[in-house]
Structure 1
Amino acid sequence: MNQLTPAHCSLQRESKSNPAMEAPEAAVAAAAPAVDGEDRRGPKGSWYAVGERAVLVPYLREHVPRYHEWMQDPALLEATASEPLSLAQEFEVHRSWTLDPLKHTFIVLDKELIEGEFASGNPHTEAMVGDVNIYMNDPDDLEIAEIEIMIAEQKSRGKGLGQEVILMMMAFAVDKYRTHTFRAKISESNNASLKLFRKLSFKDASYSSAFKEVTLEASAAELPLSSPLTIGTW
């Protein structure tokens, strides 16, 4: 099951000048501006969430190199309706997302890939396989959230991770943002994602012929949000 819906976010990493760095490390350092603690977490605070197969962690600057690699893949760019960005642009996008109170983004960790035990504060870049996002972008009702998910790593697709991550994110949104309705906007050609959201009780709400995109909606009260979920402070 290829869970892919539009999602493109990015991160920051501390910049240090070191001529002994290898080329990839030097490129990351050059692209990433220095940030303070508030930039790292965002004024809205940071949490993590633990499920049965997945862990959701905040975007950290340590994640950006791998995320940037994902978004060089033409198939992922097409599936997520994204444009390729430079590493420096990824850092700038992350900063704006981190500080925006109407957006919340998590990196998805595959528990099977975590080395040792999961620890809050550890980015666990070895286990990152995608991202999940919500946007409170309805000016008439900020308790309506658009949700997007991307499982970028092929090895973590087809085993139910995407479904669990969506349920985790929605349970988190209900708990932290009092979200009562969720929306998903999905390309009409993305059959895997359409099937996934419809399986989770999302109903077709509208269709955009201009964007060839289906909008699905679901009431939080009707969703199966009883999956085990532990929410902690990062």
Structure 2
Amino acid sequence: MLINANTVVKSEKILLVPYENHHVPRYHQWMQSEELQQLTASEPLSLEAEYQMQQSWRQDEDKCTFIILDIAVYNDYEKGTEDEISAMVGDVNLFFNDEDNKHSAEIEIMIAEPTARRKGFGKEALLCMMQYGEQILKVEEFTAKIGFSNVASIHLFQRLGFKEVSRSDVFEEVTLNYSITDHDPTSSTGVQMFQIGPYRLKS
């Protein structure tokens, strides 16, 4: 999505940055994992196809993607000891698939780095994306579709106020819903409101 192409979203633990060409090799490496393929219902792509996918996502007005960075690692890079790629831990996405309701979006998250799990990055990235979606993209309702086996992700969404609305035995997934009119994403999370700034990759 072009609207977030020059945007960085900052909170306490993470930075959200647009998915750029230089992120692709690390992202492609992640997606060779059979575990992540299963959790995200994805098929492995060639590196060339991954580059093409990144470009299509950049232009697609129905998809908003951010790469999640560990801010502690990134701050080390600010001091000259690390780089942005080393700070990558996953991604968070919004899909505007409902043609009848442009204020509804499907949200998904992936914490790809095993060492980055159970540190609160997923929760914080979801909250930032929900706040960004509400304030910038005018989203009023979020849905999440999660495989039955991904129990940790289901519990995370439920803790944030998502309610189960349906189950599909065919696709082996549960659908959860969150309406902005029924909740305030910042009311009980302990996460401060995000900051938005210009995105500039340091060379």
TM over 0.5: yes
Tell me whether 1:225 sits opposite 2:190 in the alignment.
no
Q: Distance in 2 between matches of 1:225 and 1:97?
A: 28
Shift of 1:141: 0.4
Q: Distance in 1 between matches of 2:99 and 2:169?
A: 23
Counterpart in the other structure of 1:116:
77
Counterpart in the other structure of 2:135:
175
Give the counterpart of 1:159 among 108, 115, 119: 119
Structure 1: runs of 5 or more not aligned: 1-41
Structure 2: runs of 5 or more not aligned: none
Q: Distance in 2 between matches of 1:57 and 1:45?
A: 8
Tell me whether 1:185 sits opposite 2:145 in the alignment.
yes
Shift of 1:56: 0.2
Q: State whether residues 77 and 84 of structure 2, in contact with CA within 8 Å, keep that contact through their aligned partners in structure 1.
A: no
Q: Percent identity among equivalent residues?
A: 46
Q: Distance in 2 between matches of 1:63 and 1:94?
A: 9
Q: Which residue type is aligned with residue 73 of structure 2? A: L
Radius of gyration: which is bigger? 1
Q: Which residue type is aligned with residue 196 of structure 2? A: I
Q: Within 5 Å, give how 1:37-48 maps onto structure 2.
A: 43-46=2-5, 47-48=7-8
Q: Which residue type is aligned with residue 126 of structure 2? A: I
Q: Which residue type is aligned with residue 116 of structure 1? A: Y
Residues 172-193 of structure 1 show CA distances to partners (whole Å, capped at 9, x for unaligned) of: 0011111010000000111000
Q: Distance in 2 between matches of 1:137 and 1:223?
A: 23
Q: Distance in 1 between matches of 2:166 and 2:78?
A: 43
Q: Within 5 Å, give how 1:140-159 maps onto structure 2.
A: 140-159=100-119
Shift of 1:167: 0.2
Q: Within 5 Å, give how 1:1-234 maps onto structure 2.
A: 43-46=2-5, 47-114=7-74, 115-117=76-78, 124-221=84-181, 222-225=183-186, 227-228=191-192, 229-234=194-199
Q: Distance in 2 between matches of 1:126 and 1:192?
A: 25
Q: Distance in 2 between matches of 1:44 and 1:193?
A: 28
Q: Distance in 2 between matches of 1:87 and 1:156?
A: 24
Q: Distance in 2 between matches of 1:124 and 1:164?
A: 19
TM value normalised by structure 2: 0.89
Shift of 1:45: 4.5
TM value normalised by structure 1: 0.77
The CA RMSD over aligned residues, in Å, is 1.5
The number of equivalent residue pairs is 189
